[in-house]
């Protein structure tokens, strides 16, 4: 006989305790329905949370129950009536971690399963995560992390230490970092002048890397180069801007703009080694940042001074962690 079960919660956001609870529930029933309790004024939108739950539990049926302007407490007796409305077939088991699910199970003529009621295995709290996500980073599932994560992107002319600085910061504050995709693309491309579509290929590769690595990165996602810098490369290589490429720019929370006043290091994959070219490149990057009204800090001086300046920026970003608005 096929057994059905329901789990009710706000999951705002889902944390590792929720993941453990629902994974355990999946072993108790053949068909699981996750009921997402939401309201119009939730700090994290119902659509975002539903997407998370579907990604975390693709075999479960995720149902959003929006109760208007006010959140309906999960211990409200009206939940039995609401659940019957969108789950008309018999429910065998109600799974939860609080004692009030016993009464809900009785109202639904189902067996209750109260799992880890004191969150002994995974002591986590959604409210605390929303208020101080960086303090509870290990309680946030991978798929949820980008919602709270802050992006710090390093831009600057060639041979100014972007890759070195991204690696340095990731090791100090937690990585991995997002590498520049332009370098491996340059290494394996056919020789000749660049075509506009190739700059789009580079953006494609970079954004794909970013989406994957953000799931495993720390509270700050360190990024070596981004589509904004690729847009400047387009101006340098093609002699004109690419409007369609610039439409793909997604500004990070902050940029580190590395100036060109450090010694040039020869590399067969680099193009603009003369100081006047490096200065022109820098000016174009700064102009692009200003054009997009981007938040950035200029990093200059010797390597030790640059490291100190960068660490100060990251430390400030960590201390100012706040919940991002839902898209």
Residue 88, classified by CB atoms within 10 Å of its CB into exposed (0-12), middle (13-18) or buried (19+), is exposed
Name the nearest CA neighbour of 226 among 195, 205, 198. 205
pLDDT of 325 over the 50 cut: no
pLDDT of 320 over the 90 cut: no
Q: What is the pLDDT of residues 138-184, one digit of tens each?
A: 999 999 999 999 999 999 998 889 999 999 999 999 989 999 999 89
Question: CATH 3.40.50.300 region(s) of the chain?
Answer: 149-319
* pTM: predicted TM-score of the whole model, two decimal places: 0.88
13 prior amide bond cis, ω within 30 = yes
Q: Hey, what are 123's tokens?
A: 């002591």
Q: Are 258 and 161 in contact (CB under 8 A)?
A: yes
CA-to-CA separations, 59 to 22, 54, 111, 121, in angstroms, rounded: 11, 8, 22, 24
Residue 266's pLDDT is what?
A: 58
Q: How far apart are CA 279 and CA 287, in angstroms?
A: 12
Q: Residues 6 or more apart from 43 whose CB is under 8 A from it?
A: 12, 130, 323, 326
pLDDT of 310 over the 70 cut: yes
4-137 homologous superfamily: HUPs (3.40.50.620)
Let me know if domain 149-319 sits in CATH 1.10.1060.10: no
Query: How many other C-beta atoms can be found within 10 angstroms of the C-beta atom of residue 221?
Result: 26
Question: CATH 3.40.50.620 region(s) of the chain?
Answer: 4-137
Residue 326's pLDDT is what?
A: 43
Residue 290's Cα: distance from chain center in Å?
Answer: 25
The rounded mean pLDDT for the chain is: 92
Q: Band of the pLDDT at 50, cuts 50, 70, 90?
A: very high
């Amino acid at each position: 006989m096929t057994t059905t079960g329901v789990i009710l919660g706000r999951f705002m956001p889902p944390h590792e305790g929720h993941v453990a609870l629902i994974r355990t529930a999946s072993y108790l029933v053949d068909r699981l329905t996750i009921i997402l309790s939401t309201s119009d004024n939730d700090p994290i939108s119902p659509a975002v949370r539903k997407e998370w739950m579907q990604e975390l539990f693709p075999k479960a049926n995720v149902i959003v129950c929006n109760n208007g302007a006010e959140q309906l407490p999960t211990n409200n007796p009206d939940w039995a009536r609401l659940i019957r409305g969108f789950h008309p077939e018999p429910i065998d088991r109600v799974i939860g971690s609080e004692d009030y699910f016993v009464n809900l199970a009785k109202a639904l003529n189902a067996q209750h399963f109260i799992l880890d009621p004191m969150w002994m295995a995974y002591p986590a709290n959604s409210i605390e995560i929303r208020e101080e996500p960086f303090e509870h980073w290990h309680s946030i599932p991978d798929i949820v992390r980008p919602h709270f994560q802050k992006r710090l992107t390093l831009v600057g002319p060639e041979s100014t230490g972007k890759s070195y600085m991204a690696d340095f910061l990731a090791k100090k504050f937690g990585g991995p970092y997002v590498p520049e995709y332009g370098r491996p693309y340059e290494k394996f491309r056919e020789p000749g002048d660049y075509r506009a579509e190739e700059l789009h290929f580079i953006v494609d590769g970079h954004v794909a890397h970013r989406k994957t690595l953000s799931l495993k990165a720390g509270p700050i996602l360190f990024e070596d180069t981004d589509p904004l810098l690729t847009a400047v490369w387009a101006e340098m290589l093609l002699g004109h801007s690419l409007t369609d490429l610039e439409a793909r720019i997604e500004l990070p929370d902050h940029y580190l703009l590395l100036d060109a006043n450090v010694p040039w290091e020869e590399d067969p994959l680099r193009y603009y080694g003369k100081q006047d070219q490096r200065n022109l490149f820098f000016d174009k990057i700064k102009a692009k940042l200003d054009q997009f009204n981007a938040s950035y800090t200029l990093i200059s001086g010797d390597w030790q001074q640059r490291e100190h300046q960068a660490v100060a920026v990251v430390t400030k970003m960590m201390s100012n962690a706040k919940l991002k608005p839902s898209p």
